[in-house]
Structure 1
Amino acid sequence: MKAKLISIFIVIFMIIPIYVSADVEESSPLTELDQISDDALQMAKLNKFEDAKKLLEYFSKQFLTITGKGQPFTMDELRIVTISHNDALEAVTSASMDQPERINRLTQFRLVMDAISSKNQPLWAEMKGPIMTTFSQVKEAATNGDNIGFHETFNSFLTLYEMIYPSIKIDIPADRVQQIDARINFIDEYRPQILAQATSQKELQALETDLESIFDEMTEDEADPSLWWVMISTGSIIIMTLSYVGWKKYKGDKQSKKDFKREFKE
């Protein structure tokens, strides 16, 4: 199994393109920070974690300089950027952390910075396809009473949703995010009932509707062609992530589940 995952991991990283940003006529401190976050992600994809660390440390200095000159961020944005940056920095300095988790954290940080700096469609919205596809598999497993399939696919959904969750909190009103949080927490807490009772499965349909709503709201405008790279890049990461999560996470990763719930309550 490990050999198979390693083979998939190598192939995925061979096909992930390196993003080269287009020249822009105007530059701002926010776009520069956004670019640094992207550069750090690209270095991590190439296993150049020392270079990624240097970029993240440089980001921290630039971030402090920008915030010291004014207040371009809200308090919520400051908190989200700080937490996601710390998580990314931990990922590039932790040799014991699994490779997929390290890349996921850098991707999460990248999506946060884009959500703050972008004026148009955010990159996190490009993950609608894989997230909704995975959630459809959750519903199918629940309908069929497939216990193992339900736990595997729901854990995969949680992993993907966690990747974009900080970005969602930037772009989506707090009350709507809290509504989605409540539905996810209910399904996660009462998995046996969701599997056993058709009435409880209505929560799955309600959550699917909420998710569709926030994605549709953010994808009304046509995407910038220069951002299509992220669909390929994040798609590859998702394949790697889903290969890694599965049943292993359901049986042994209890602490991650607690941390995930704690993040929703913040």
Structure 2
Amino acid sequence: MKLYFSKASVLCIALLFLLYAFGADTSLYAKESNQAWKDIDTIATRALKEVKQKQYDQAKSTLSYLSEESFSTQGNGLQLSMEDMYLLSMSYKDAVQAVTQVTMADTQRYTEVAKFKLLVDALQRPKQPLWLETSSQVLKALEDVKVTVSEGDARGFQKALNQFLLLSEMIRPSIIATESPEIAEKLQSQLAFLERQRNVLVNNKDEHGILDMVQATIKEAYRIPKESEADSSFYWVLAMVGGFIFYLYFMPDGANILGNGKNSRVKSKTSIIFDL
């Protein structure tokens, strides 16, 4: 018995076969991508925990499971643009340098590895990245800078500015990866200006306005809506709540925040806190 198919039937069958094959291939590629990100995130989280505990040799060993080449080829399964691959590769390089350079301060080491961890998370979850939960810390650090300037405290200003710039560096790659290029470039330009003027800014009142500009840009990066004076306290509370959630998520043995009892139900997923 012979079966006869019209050209249209053959074309439909071929099209269905191609769609099925493409769908299966896409599903497999998505699974590979998810696993690749899961592996990188596990390594970044573990390394950050080890740096937090000042176990630098162990952190170096953990990061060695990766390499710069892990992020610089299209075959890595991460589905990244060339720009993001470069950003991730450079952030990883900075993290490795931080755990190997013995002359680097502990806070600087921690910042570099935290920067890598936050970027890994941001590239996976660009709509709701973890770095957004640092708003209270960064805005508080900037407020400390503004206070020292208003009080004419030159020495205190240098210390506060260092702290603020350190936190800003921790989130900088994540801002580049998840926010508009205009916001990232504007913030980078403003921070560079602060760095250049740090020795004269306290006594130069004409330059004090740059701090309000930086604050506005940071709020824009954190997706905090522009508020009226009546709403300002409301958004500040939101920022504080976000910081508290971030604190719980990264706190060593998060259950301690509610007590050390055996019945505590709060568990920290990574046992780390960004407490520079």
**Structure 1 runs of 4+ off > 6 angstroms?**
none
1:203 to 192, 207, 210: 210
Aligned residue for 2:171, secondary structure, equals helix
- Give the TM-score normalised by structure 2: 0.66
Contact 2:122 2:177 in 1 (8 A): yes
1:232 is matched with which residue? 251
- The structure with the largest alpha-carbon Rg is 2
Q: Distance in 1 between matches of 2:213 and 2:161?
A: 15
Aligned residue for 2:128, secondary structure, equals coil
Q: Distance in 1 between matches of 2:98 and 2:119?
A: 16
TM-superposed CA distance for 1:201, in Å, is: 1.1
Matched, 1:81 2:88: yes
TM-superposed CA distance for 1:70, in Å, is: 5.3
Matched, 1:139 2:150: no
Q: In the alignment, residue 232 of structure 1 is paired with which amino acid?
A: M
Q: Distance in 1 between matches of 2:124 and 2:101?
A: 28
Q: In the alignment, residue 66 of structure 2 is paired with which amino acid?
A: F
**Which runs of 5 or more residues in structure 1 are unaligned?**
1-25, 242-266
Aligned residue for 2:123, secondary structure, equals helix
Q: Distance in 2 between matches of 1:55 and 1:38?
A: 10
TM-superposition CA deviations, 1:197-231 (whole Å, max 9, x none): 433211111111111121135999x97x9966445
**Structure holding more helix per residue:** 1
Q: Distance in 1 between matches of 2:138 and 2:76?
A: 39
Q: Aligned pair in 2 of structure 1 residues 191, 65: CA closer, same or farther (>3 Å)?
A: closer
Matched, 1:129 2:136: yes
TM-superposition CA deviations, 1:140-185 (whole Å, max 9, x none): 1112222112121111111111111111111111121111122222
Q: Distance in 2 between matches of 1:34 and 1:112?
A: 10
**Between the two proteins, what is the percent identity of the paired residues?**
23
Q: Aligned pair in 2 of structure 1 residues 62, 75: CA closer, same or farther (>3 Å)?
A: closer
- Give the TM-score normalised by structure 1: 0.68
TM-superposed CA distance for 1:76, in Å, is: 1.6
Q: In the alignment, residue 36 of structure 2 is paired with which amino acid?
A: P
2:162 to 152, 155, 158: 155
Q: Aligned pair in 2 of structure 1 residues 230, 146: CA closer, same or farther (>3 Å)?
A: same
Q: Aligned pair in 2 of structure 1 residues 235, 150: CA closer, same or farther (>3 Å)?
A: farther
Contact 2:68 2:92 in 1 (8 A): no
Contact 1:44 1:92 in 2 (8 A): yes
Q: Distance in 2 between matches of 1:157 and 1:226?
A: 21
Higher RCO (C-alpha 8 Å, min separation 6)? 1
Count of residue pairs brought into register by the alignment: 213
Aligned residue for 1:194, secondary structure, equals coil
TM-superposed CA distance for 1:49, in Å, is: 3.1
Q: Distance in 2 between matches of 1:101 and 1:80?
A: 19
Contact 2:131 2:171 in 1 (8 A): yes
